[in-house]
Structure 1
Amino acid sequence: MRYEYLYRFQDKYGEGGFKRLMGEGFNCKNNNYHYASTVTGPGHAHVYTGSVPAVSGIVGNDWFDKASGKDMYVASDSTVSTVGEGSERAGMMSPNNLKVTTITDQIRLASQFKSKVVGVAIKDRGAILPAGHTGDAYWYDSSTGNWITSTHYRNTLPTWVQAFNDKNVAEDYATKTWETLYPIDTYTESEEDKQPYENRLNGQKEAIFPHTFTVGSIASTPWGNTMTLDIALEALKNESLGQDDITDFLAISFSSPDYVGHAFGPQSKEVQDTYLRLDLEIERLLNTLDAQVGKGAYTLFLSADHAVAEIPAFLKKHDMPAGLFLGGEVTKEANAIISKAYGEGEWILSLKNYEFYLNRALMAEKNITVDQIKNLIAPVLSMQEGIYSVINLESFGNDNIPPFYKEKIQNIYNPKRSGEIMVLVEPGWFHGYGTRGTTHGTMWAYDTHVPLLFFGNGIKHGETVKPTYISDIAPTVSQLLNIQEPSGSVGTPLGEALK
């Protein structure tokens, strides 16, 4: 979610959703990510830990595992299995790769594990990382249409989750057709509907309203948000959250804005409609919390795991700089340059998160350092359109990068999980091959600037334009509750937001 969506679509929001959060809560208008890897896994991890990838170990949605020589997914865990009616692979997930505690873990510790913590999201990582090591997490298996968990948490599904699955909610929603909430010609805050650089849903010939979808593609529609809130409210009711004097925590991650944003881009009618409908879901959430927990008896924050880049073809259409970084081709070129200088070999084992993972065994055999390789390839690669710089992550500091960005880059390097050399793309560029859709993942403002709203018990009404960071969320909640901040926290409590 770009922070600008709070304002760009504001005239069409109702009074009870985003406007209520802004009108009664505290708005951090200049809120950014404090590191350079703006993707889903790290975003969810660091909202709830206040940490950095360098410390938490969550350096991407996936990374190259140096010990095994294989790719590692952020939430994968081969020691656990699916709980519920889901595919075998979908449930082999846990927070095991997260090396620090979360604010949800700290709430459990502070209450001697009497607090209840529940995380829900369509994406497994969007439920697992917020729920921490000690909470409960439930996520959606698109192959079956069911919500599942893993044996990291429990050996059987709670009866209320099974009852929710028995309702076949996803199948019911999949009978609908996605039309715009309001007449499409009133969506003047987004560009015309039919664009050649938007992705198509569910086998449609054109990326144009109306859209049809299936149980497997529901995440790419606003009904993914509706279904997520449905099960979150079931958790609120059936786990009796907020019904005693012990603090509970419900972590809801709405994954559908990400799927829609990837497919259609931030200027699309689909993104606008998704946020107008999400506004109604926020209102439904607040009204339910008012009724079941009590108005003023709960605290809520809203943020995002990253923002998003414009579709390059959209920018080019309007004569603005943009393009695609072809990682595979750059990797081949870099490997060829190194091979010419030091002998044939597989010098680069992988490219993940714009980072080259080097063959350390081969380097040791040839007595070659990371700096030597960086100094060899950087002058060539940096001259290519779309590449801003090539840096040595291991000994970063001497590279000619503006100080504002140096700290963001330093915060992502974890010696066990990060690559040794990083390719920094120019603004408007990202890693991709197709001409449709968009993504995120860079250190530039369009990827890092996200909303941060606090609301409810203990929160002042107001706003600030001073810089705040994702790392500030967890320590602010810790201060509000007078508990220890998470173990890897680097953030600062936002005292001006607290009564």
Structure 2
Amino acid sequence: MTKKLSAFALACAMGFSVMAQQAVPRPKLVVGIVVDQMRWDYLYRYADRYEAGGFKRMMGEGFSCENTYITHLPSFTAVGHSTIYTGSVPAIHGITGNEWTDQVTGRKWYCTEDTTVQSVGTTSAAGKMSPRNLLATTITDELKLATNFRSKVVGVSLKDRASILPAGHTPDGAFWLDDSNGSFVTSSYYMNELPEWVTKFNNSKEPAALMSKPWETLYPIKTYVQSTADAESWEGTFKGETTTTFPHNMPVIYSQDRESLRATPSGNTLTLDFAKAAVAGYNLGGGTVTDFLTINCASTDYVGHQYGPNSIEIEDTYLRLDKDLSAFFSYLDQRLGKGNYLVFLSADHGVAHSVGFMQEHKIPAGLVPGGKLLAGVNSALLARFGVDKLAVSGENYHLNFDRNKIKEQKLDYDAVKKEAVMYLQQQPGVEFAVDIDNIGNSPVPEPIKSMIINGYNPKRSGAVMIIQEPGWFQGSDKGTTHGSWNTFDTHLPLLFMGWHVKHGATNAMTSMTDIAPTIAAMLHIQMPSGCVGKPVMEVYK
């Protein structure tokens, strides 16, 4: 009798254990898609030409947060990805730019640089990367923690930083493209050799196949009515080109410059094909717990920088991305079943119109000469304090000072910063210059003041920040760039689709920091360690 009772008790315990594991409903797979440099208005600018299965499907079946904004500065790639997946801001998660100057040592750091690891899958230095500079956990880390590391997490991008930072500190793998060998590679932080499925994908030589044909427009070029003419003076060119017009002779261009693939729609095709291979290779969504795949479609950024947001090239890139997304969602439907996976799509930042385009249409715009500003600041400081080169660099729209020299010369640091601010505020295109330590006394309006504070990490940010007039930026007259507080750089798409997502939209203000806590709420897991966002409750059932 005792044995029977023991057996019954064991069976009950096993049953309760299974029930406990199944008690929390979750999707098979979460897919986070960040489209690099995607302005919010691209959802509507080309809407009449999107097909049913891509962006239109996400908006027609899913939920759209129509007024989602970045709440930090600067609005750059590494910062945006880190903010989306931590639900935090640079002041807390520590990724203050794609690169920064350490304010203690003066050393310049790339955001995912790691001198303690080795490249895997290449002999180049492309794999000497890791997430160690990210100070907070990500939503992908929290999923790992919630399932005692049984969930699988994988990051995919052409860019190292856009694969590494979203995947967090604890993924099964993060992979990015090494142009030197046309292969996806990784770091010894994650593994000592590439998985077999990655080697097989690399051996297919898809980059070379994609670059074997010229880049022609998807549709007749005269139908691209949302874009400017094919050749504009403000558009950039590929190396070796003498014109910006279609077709772009990619076989010749790629043979001379392997990085050129990135600045074509084929880069997104390659990324999503590799993402499909990752789903199959790791059997994502095929286990007993939820898995997470992070994808960055980076070619939109490269094309945007080169040609600007009003070019036929950028329109063609989005029309082709739409088709690639449609094929990717169909793949997930077939593999996992429609409604069994959860997808969100957003962007790391937007982009400004090209200066030449704006000026042609009599809209205020211009270039702030970053190098000349630094030289001018140093001239003003030399005249005032008798010491040269007190300002050492100006990345991320922050001015960095030589604190050791200021201390050695027994100068008043606040007085040095005040003099720099006075000089900067007199320069064309500069709207505000702010001594961040004394920002409470600075007449900077909201939301700019809060965005500066949210982006300021005292160990990784310069002491004075430059805010340009609307339409002005530091960069080139060819193509364009991003980084400012203005809506063209900070108003983002945010779409949810799939598992337990309501169909609808909200025009309420939401933040990039709200994405991670929304996913956390839907999965019933802890928010990331530095999270400051809030769940968007309207999204889920």
Equivalent in the alignment of 2:272: 229
**1:273 corresponds to 2:316:** yes
Is structure 2 residue 498 aligned with structure 1 residue 456? yes
**1:334-373 superposed matches below 5 A:** 334-373=377-416
Distance 1:153 1:467 in 2: 38
Report the 3-state secondary structure (helix = DSSP H, G, I; strand = E; otherwise coil) of the residue aligned with 1:30.
strand
Q: Give 1:371 deviation, angstroms.
A: 2.9
> Could you say which residue in structure 1 is the equivalent of 2:43?
6
**Contact between 1:472 and 1:493, CA under 8 Å: does it hold in 2?**
yes
Alignment of 1:454-493 (within 5 A): 454-493=496-535
Aligned to 1:285: 328
Q: Which residue of 1 aligns with 2:181?
A: 144
Report the equivalent of 1:494: 536
Work out whether residues 394 and 413 of structure 1, in 8 Å CA contact, stay in contact via their aligned partners in 2. no
What's 1:66 paired with? 103
TM value normalised by structure 1: 0.98
Aligned residue number for residue 186 of structure 1? 223
**Structure 2: distance between partners of 1:87 and 1:270:** 34
Provide the C-alpha distance between the structure 2 equivalents of 1:74 and 1:192, rounded to a whole number of angstroms.
37
Could you tell me how far 1:204 is from its partner in structure 2? Answer: 1.2
Secondary structure of the equivalent of 1:217? helix
The one-letter code of the counterpart of 2:363 is: M
Task: Please give the root-mean-square deviation of Cα atoms over the aligned residues, in Å.
Answer: 1.1
Question: Structure 1 residue 245: deviation in Å?
Answer: 2.7
397-406 or 37-46: which moved more? 397-406
1:82 matched to which residue of 2? 119
2:191 aligned residue (151, 154, 163): 154
State how 1:56-455 maps to structure 2 within 5 Å.
Answer: 56-84=93-121, 86-135=122-171, 136-213=173-250, 214=254, 215-432=258-475, 434-455=476-497
Partner residue of 1:43?
Answer: 80
- The SS at the match of 1:152 is coil
Q: Secondary structure at the match of 2:447?
A: helix
Offset at residue 364 of structure 1 (A) = 2.1
In the alignment, residue 284 of structure 2 is paired with which amino acid?
A: L
How many angstroms does 1:346 deviate by? 2.2
In the alignment, the residues of structure 2 paired with residue 468 and residue 43 of structure 1 have an alpha-carbon distance, to the nearest angstrom, of: 15
Q: Are the equivalent residues in 2 in contact too, given 1:145–1:216 (CA < 8 A)?
A: no
More moved, 74-83 vs 335-344: 335-344
Is contact 2:140-2:292 (8 Å) kept?
Answer: yes
How far is 1:174 from its partner? 1.0
Question: What amino acid is the match of 2:165?
Answer: L
Indicate if the aligned counterparts of 2:78 and 2:162 stay in contact, CA closer than 8 A. Answer: yes
Paired residues of 1:81 and 1:88 also in contact (CA < 8 A): no
Q: Deviations over 1:309-330 (max 9, x none)?
A: 0110110111111111111111
CA distance in 2, matches of 1:245, 1:18: 30
Match of 2:470, SS state, is coil
Displacement after TM superposition at 1:479 (Å) = 0.2
Distance in 1 between the 2:75 and 2:212 partners?
Answer: 34
After TM superposition, give the deviation of residue 87 of structure 1 in Å: 4.1
Q: Tell me, what secondary structure is at the counterpart of 1:54?
A: helix
Q: CA deviation at 1:372?
A: 1.4
- The amino acid across from 2:512 in the alignment is I
Q: Give unpaired runs (5+ residues) of structure 1.
A: none
SS of aligned partner of 1:423: strand
The amino acid across from 1:481 in the alignment is L
TM superposition shift of 1:70: 2.4
Superposition deviation, residue 191 in structure 1: 1.0
Contact 1:201/1:212, CA 8 A, preserved across alignment: no
The letter for the 2-side match of 1:279 is D
CA contact (8 A) 2:103 2:458 kept: no
Distance in 1 (CA, whole Å) between partners of 2:98 and 2:419 is: 29
How far apart are the structure 1 equivalents of 2:513 and 2:438? 24
Alignment deviations for residues 163-194 of structure 1 (CA, whole Å, 9 cap, x no partner): 00111111111101111111111110111111
Q: In the aligned structure 2, how far is the partner of 1:265 from the partner of 1:348?
A: 32
In 1, distance between residues paired with 2:81 and 2:529?
A: 16
- Find the aligned partners of 2:399 and 2:123 in 1 and give their Cα distance: 33
Look up the equivalent residue of 2:414 and give its one-letter code: D
> What SS does the corresponding residue of 2:441 show, helix, strand or coil?
coil
Mapped partners of 2:414, 2:502: distance in 1: 50
Distance 1:37 1:59 in 2: 8
Secondary structure of 2:170's partner? coil
Shift of 1:117: 0.4
Q: Tell me, which stretches of 5 or more residues in structure 2 are unaligned?
A: 1-37
Letter in 1 for 2:146: A
Aligned-residue offset at 1:216 = 2.8
Q: Deviations over 1:100-124 (max 9, x none)?
A: 0000000011111110000000000
- The aligned counterpart of 1:29 is 66
Q: Tell me the secondary structure at the aligned position of residue 218 of structure 2.
A: coil
CA drift at 1:468: 0.5
Counterpart CA distance in 2 for 1:460 and 1:312 is 40
| Bigger shift: residues 209-218 or 40-49 | 209-218
Cα distance in structure 2, aligned partners of 1:64 and 1:377: 18
Instruction: Give the TM-score normalised by structure 2.
Output: 0.90
Alpha-carbon distance between aligned partners in 2 of 1:371 and 1:424, rounded to the nearest angstrom: 20
- Report the Cα distance in structure 2 between the residues aligned to 1:83 and 1:384, rounded to whole angstroms: 47
Give secondary structure in 1 for the equivalent of 2:438: coil
After TM superposition, the structure 1 stretch with the greater mean CA deviation from structure 2, 197-206 or 141-150, is 197-206
